[in-house]
């Protein structure tokens, strides 16, 4: 893998991760109809996730494993951004949570988010590769 290819996939993952972060923050702003906004955030994130996998597999021609790793990296970046925002928010708003819990979230949220993202992407793209190989 060339250095430009490594840089390219990371920049894509970083961009997609920022999109996940923005979806998480912006869809949390409305205070009415919270369930509907949360569902909309899940749908938007799912669309971004699916588009990212399609881009990695069809456009870049990556293997199911690489596609899943790149998708999971983007999810981890988005989760880290949300954990970081929650940590910063906790400094300004009184909370019943301890400060160490927010610092722990900086590690736990990305890990807990990335593992299922990797598994789902790997299975989905592996099945897709069997059903519809790249041309």
| Whole-number Å distance between alpha carbons of 121 and 110 | 16
**Res 132: pLDDT:** 81
Average pLDDT per block of 10 residues along the chain, 135 residues long: 69 97 94 93 97 94 96 98 92 79 93 98 96 73
Domain boundaries, the chain: 3-131
**Res 101: pLDDT:** 87
Lookup: tokens for 3: 């250095």
**Res 69: pLDDT:** 98
Contact in structure between 52 and 71 (CB atoms under 8 Å): yes
| Whole-number Å distance between alpha carbons of 58 and 29 | 35
**Res 83: pLDDT:** 95
Identify the residue whose tokens are 């205070």: 31
**Res 37: pLDDT:** 94
**Res 99: pLDDT:** 78
Which sign does the torsion angle of CA 12, 25, 109, 32 carry? negative
| Whole-number Å distance between alpha carbons of 43 and 122 | 20
**Res 3: pLDDT:** 59
**Res 43: pLDDT:** 97
């Amino acid at each position: 893998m060339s250095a430009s290819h490594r840089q390219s996939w990371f920049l894509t993952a970083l961009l997609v991760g920022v999109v996940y972060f923005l979806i998480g923050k912006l869809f949390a702003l409305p205070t009415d109809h919270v369930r509907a906004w949360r569902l909309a955030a899940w749908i938007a994130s799912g669309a971004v996730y699916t588009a990212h996998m399609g881009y990695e597999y069809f456009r870049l021609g990556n293997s199911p494993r690489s596609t899943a790793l790149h998708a999971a990296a983007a999810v981890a970046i988005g989760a880290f951004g949300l954990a970081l925002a929650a940590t910063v928010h906790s400094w300004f708003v009184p909370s019943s949570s301890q400060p160490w819990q927010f610092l722990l979230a900086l590690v736990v949220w990305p890990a807990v988010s990335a593992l299922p993202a990797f598994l789902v992407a790997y299975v989905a793209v592996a099945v897709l590769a069997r059903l519809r190989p790249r041309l």
